[in-house]
Amino acid sequence: MKTGDVRIFRQGAEHQPLILIDDFAADPDGLIEDAAMLRLEPNGPHYPGLRAPVPKGMVAKLLAPVTDLIREVFGVDAGRGRRESWYSLVTTPPDRLAPIQRLPHFDGVEADRIAILLFLGRADLGGTAFYRHRATGFETVTAERLAPYDSALRADIDRHGLPPPAYIAGDTPLYERIARHEARFNRLLIYRGHTLHCADVPPDLVLCADPREGRLTVNTFLIPVGAA
Contact yes or no for 35/53 (Cβ under 8 A)? no
Per-residue pLDDT tens listing for the chain (228 residues): 554 589 999 999 999 999 999 999 999 999 999 999 999 999 888 899 999 999 999 999 999 999 999 999 999 998 888 999 999 999 999 999 999 999 999 999 999 999 999 999 988 889 999 999 999 999 999 999 999 999 999 999 999 999 999 999 899 999 999 999 999 999 999 999 999 999 999 888 889 999 999 999 999 999 987 776
User: What are the residue ranges spanned by the domains of the chain?
Assistant: 3-223
Global pTM exceeds 0.85: yes
* Closest by CA position to 166, among listed 207, 118, 134, 195: 207
Q: Which one-letter amino acid corresponds to residue 150?
A: D
* Closest by CA position to 215, among listed 50, 59, 19: 50
CATH for the 3-223 domain, from 2.60.120, 1.20.120, 2.60.40, 3.40.720: 2.60.120
